[in-house]
Structure 1
Amino acid sequence: MLSLKEISFLALATGAAVVNAQSGTGRTTRYWDCCKGSCGWSGKASVNQPIRSCDKSDNPLANMAAKNGCESGGSAYMCTAQTPWAVNDNLAYGFAAAKLAGQTESGWCCGCYKLTFTSGPVSGKQMVVQITNTGGDLGNNHFDIAMPGGGVGLFNACTNQWGAPPNGWGAQYGGISSRAECDGFPEKLKAGCRWRWDWFLGADNPDVTFEKVTCPKALTDKTGCIRNGETPV
């Protein structure tokens, strides 16, 4: 059993405190569809507020009930603030869609999970993600990491919001194939796109072990969403 001192050190090292957790092994994919996240609707989970969505110009919306930009006439999109970034060479923060065995959105929306990559060039690196979305085509214990240029998947609001090609940037599933392609992205998405190559080392859907953690404040500050009873660290 970890001592209080050891738990405190772990919190400092990862930017998150371990809580009584769902944990296990899982898989990852990647996406960026520009759509309003599923956790952006009221009533999905016991939280202070849904995740923030943005208008077509990337301004945060006050109306949490705004229609999803993936739908005809919709005006709510994924905010560019919800792109990944490197904390250091071995730790990154970001956001993901997820599906976890034995749970529904009420269990995972706005929760945070520490992923430890176990395959590919990022093996041994860690990433703390806040769950902002749900993937209808995901399997159990599956984290679909949000990264610009990662492929739009089932839905595409990027064409409407940013003028992306009809199937999004690159392949519909998987996205672009080189860092150089990030140069053609909207300015606000370039850093998140390049992260995939600079920190994530171009990894292609690495496996992970995962455990639920208390959300870092750096993540909840970007989404505005905190699970009730939790204090970000």
Structure 2
Amino acid sequence: MRRLLFLLAAIAGQTLAQTKAKSYTGWDCCKPLCATVNGKNDLLRSRGVVSVCDKNNKVQELQAGIRANTGCSSGGSAYMCDTYAPIPVSDDLSYGFAIHVTDNQNGDNPSCCKCHEVTWLTGAAANKTMVVQIVTPGGSGGDVKKNDLILLTPGGGVGPLSSGCTSQYGNSYSWGETRGGVKNREACEKLPANLQGGCYWRFNWARGEINGWDISYRQVACPSILKEISGCEAKLN
């Protein structure tokens, strides 16, 4: 009887761990907030720190990346690496990175470096799965609410920080609408060549704009490919 109660409690715990929310897209080229530890060396030891790149998408040395200001501010030299674009694995599975919408937008946010298994409940990607790692805690606004996930997708919308992609890539590209980004596959061709594949992912794999689709997600262990790209991993709760 005691064993049965334990199993039922474990199942209930798994159910509670599921979060219902909505998915959105974004790509502002800014330095991920989880790349800043504010002198808290315990974070470096326990989870690592998110990798950042220079203007040419070369990964910066760890301490240089931590100290560098974001390219979304004047004189900043740290940007989002192009390797944070989505990675299709099969017709029903992709890997990638995301912004977790939360009240705390600091680099020591406990969401940083956690991985979540996301399942779409509505939209053209219904029943498809994506494992994402959180590299930035973001704020809510407009239709985007607390606990929503903003998937890092080139051409997914630059949001309120519109200067980052211009600073990194220049003025020759069209990034689409501020919120929502490009509206079709053809518009991906107006992005830098190294980002076009990540933009096509939205229309080829997810088969739509993704914004506002219902999702359910739960924390999982990070796949090795995501850890290799980001340089960090948070422990399972």
Separation (CA, whole Å) in 2 of partners of 1:50 and 1:20: 30
Moved over 4 A (4+): 100-105
Separation (CA, whole Å) in 2 of partners of 1:211 and 1:100: 16
Query: Counterpart in 2 of 1:152?
Result: 158
Amino acid at match of 1:108: S
Q: Structure 1's 117 and 54: CA in aligned 2 closer, same or farther, altered over 3 A?
A: same
Tell me the SS of whatever aligns to 1:182.
helix
Separation (CA, whole Å) in 2 of partners of 1:57 and 1:103: 26
**Identity across matched positions, percent:** 36
Does the 8 Å CA contact 1:122/1:203 hold for their aligned counterparts? no
Pick which of 23-32 and 121-130 moved more: 23-32
Separation (CA, whole Å) in 1 of partners of 2:18 and 2:184: 33
Separation (CA, whole Å) in 2 of partners of 1:102 and 1:49: 19
Separation (CA, whole Å) in 2 of partners of 1:190 and 1:155: 20
Q: Structure 1's 124 and 59: CA in aligned 2 closer, same or farther, altered over 3 A?
A: same
Does the 8 Å CA contact 2:100/2:150 hold for their aligned counterparts? yes
Query: Counterpart in 2 of 1:141?
Result: 147
Tell me the SS of whatever aligns to 1:120.
coil
Deviations 1:191-217 (A, max 9, x none): 101101110101332110110001111
Gaps of 5+ in 1: 2-18
After TM superposition, give the deviation of residue 179 of structure 1 in Å.
0.8
After TM superposition, give the deviation of residue 184 of structure 1 in Å.
2.7
Q: Structure 1's 140 and 160: CA in aligned 2 closer, same or farther, altered over 3 A?
A: same
Query: Counterpart in 2 of 1:60?
Result: 59
Deviations 1:142-189 (A, max 9, x none): 1000000001001120011112469x6111111111111222322211
Deviations 1:64-123 (A, max 9, x none): 211111001000000001100111000110000002589985321000001100011101
Is 1:41 paired with 2:39?
Answer: no
Larger gyration radius, structure 1 or structure 2: 2
Query: Counterpart in 2 of 1:27?
Result: 22
Deviations 1:29-51 (A, max 9, x none): 11000000010112578344210
TM-score after normalising by structure 1 = 0.83
Separation (CA, whole Å) in 1 of partners of 2:83 and 2:60: 13
User: How is 1:115-126 mapped onto 2 (pairs within 5 angstroms)?
Assistant: 115-126=118-129
Deviations 1:112-145 (A, max 9, x none): 0011000111010011000001212352211000
Structure (1/2) with the larger helix percentage: 2
Separation (CA, whole Å) in 2 of partners of 1:40 and 1:101: 18
Separation (CA, whole Å) in 2 of partners of 1:41 and 1:20: 32
Is 1:217 paired with 2:219?
Answer: no
Query: Counterpart in 2 of 1:179?
Result: 185
Query: Counterpart in 2 of 1:132?
Result: 135
Does the 8 Å CA contact 2:156/2:180 hold for their aligned counterparts? yes
Gaps of 5+ in 2: 5-13
Query: Counterpart in 2 of 1:196?
Result: 202
Q: Structure 1's 171 and 72: CA in aligned 2 closer, same or farther, altered over 3 A?
A: same
Amino acid at match of 2:214: D
Query: Counterpart in 2 of 1:226?
Result: 233
Query: Counterpart in 1 of 2:10?
Result: none
